[in-house]
Amino acid sequence: MNWTREKLIEAYIDFFKKKRHKEIPNVSLIPREDPTVLFTTAGMHPLILFLLGQKHPLGKRLVNNQKCIRTTDIEEVGDENHLTFFEMLGNWSLGDYWKKEAIEFSFEFLTKILKIPKQKLTITCFKGDFKNHIPKDTESAKIWQKLGIKKSQIRFLGKEENWWGPAGKTGPCGPDTEMFFQGSEIWNDVFMQYNKDKQGRYKELSQKNVDTGMGVERTLAVLQGKKSVYETL
Ligand code: SER
């Protein structure tokens, strides 16, 4: 398959529609629903109320492709895999499926649809934050291993690497498991089960959510055999 941006996006959306996800549209780069950020930095911003427990009109399984602006990586922008503006594919579970299904979906899409050999993937999982009583994520690592990822392909990392959010000072967040191809992170599955409050405390959310983010340009670089996201077609 000669992968293009359009084909990758279509394959992703179709794959998750077959897994009973409903597609939601791309929203403005100026977030309307989330006052904690100046720009839409991820697909989660339009979903913030639903991650916090409000019922989404389209149900508990959603899929989208969201255009994002990120300035936190500004020092790295211009290297082989950082951009200020990019597109991110995401599948969402709003209190529906959890780690097993999320990781199985990721694995199936990467190896069966994109046909990336499983031995070429490297996986990271959260090593735990004992100060805040957040455990090591051995559950995710075991799921990966069951799917055929070797122990030697999995690393446990800390909050700097394997924790996502909140995007602003407060809001939904949680540990994640990340998928790498030759050192470039192409996808993460975030297990949003906490809400960080103004005092910096992590409270369990009323529902456990999955928020994933696949970088379109980075994945395209892998599929097109390019060294840099800036070379993708
Ligand atoms: N999965 C998202 C990201 O990587 C978090 O919303 O940014």
Q: Is the distance from the beta carbon of residue 213 to the nearest atom of ligand 1 less than 6 Å?
A: yes
Q: How many domains does the chain have?
A: 1
| The predicted structure's pLDDT at residue 217 | 98
Residue nearest to atom 4 of ligand 1 (CA): 213
Would you say the C-alpha torsion 129, 163, 176, 209 has a positive or negative sign?
positive
Q: Is the distance from the beta carbon of residue 232 to the nearest atom of ligand 1 less than 6 Å?
A: no
> How far apart are alpha carbons 221 and 206 in whole angstroms?
38
Mutation test of ligand 1: which of 40, 44, 64 has the most ligand atoms closer than 8 Å to its C-beta? 44
Q: Is the distance from the beta carbon of residue 24 to the nearest atom of ligand 1 less than 6 Å?
A: no
Question: Max Cα separation, the chain?
Answer: 50
Q: Is the distance from the beta carbon of residue 106 to the nearest atom of ligand 1 less than 6 Å?
A: no
Q: Is the distance from the beta carbon of residue 211 to the nearest atom of ligand 1 less than 6 Å?
A: yes
Cβ partners under 8 Å of residue 225, min gap 6:
none
Mutation test of ligand 1: which of 211, 217, 218 has the most ligand atoms closer than 8 Å to its C-beta? 211
HEC sequence for the chain: CCCCHHHHHHHHHHHHHHCCCEECCCCCCCCCCCCCCCCCCCCCHHHHHHHCCCCCCCCCEEEEEEEEECCCCHHHCCCCCCCCEEEEEEEEEECCCCHHHHHHHHHHHHHHHCCCCHHHEEEEEECCEHHHCECCCHHHHHHHHHCCCCHHHEEEECHHHHEECCCCCCEEEEEEEEEEECCEEEEEEEEEEEEECCCCCEEEEEEEEEEEEEEHHHHHHHHCCCCCHHHCC
User: Which ligand 1 atom is nearest residue 189's CA?
Assistant: 1
Q: Looking at residue 12, which CATH number applies to its domain?
A: 3.30.930.10
Calculate how far, in angstroms, residue 188's C-alpha sits from the geometric centre of ligand 1: 7
| The predicted structure's pLDDT at residue 1 | 85
Surface-to-core class of residue 119, CB atoms within 10 Å of its CB (0-12 exposed, 13-18 middle, 19+ buried):
exposed
The structure's pTM equals 0.96
Domain of residue 135, residue span: 5-231
Cβ partners under 8 Å of residue 194, min gap 6:
134, 172, 173, 174, 202, 203, 204, 205
| The predicted structure's pLDDT at residue 159 | 95
What is the chain's pLDDT, residue by residue, as a tens digit (233 residues)?
899 999 999 999 999 999 999 999 999 999 988 888 899 999 998 999 999 999 999 999 999 999 999 988 899 999 999 999 999 999 999 999 999 999 999 999 999 999 999 999 999 999 999 999 999 999 999 999 999 999 999 999 999 999 998 988 899 999 999 999 999 999 999 999 999 999 999 999 999 999 999 999 999 999 999 999 999 98
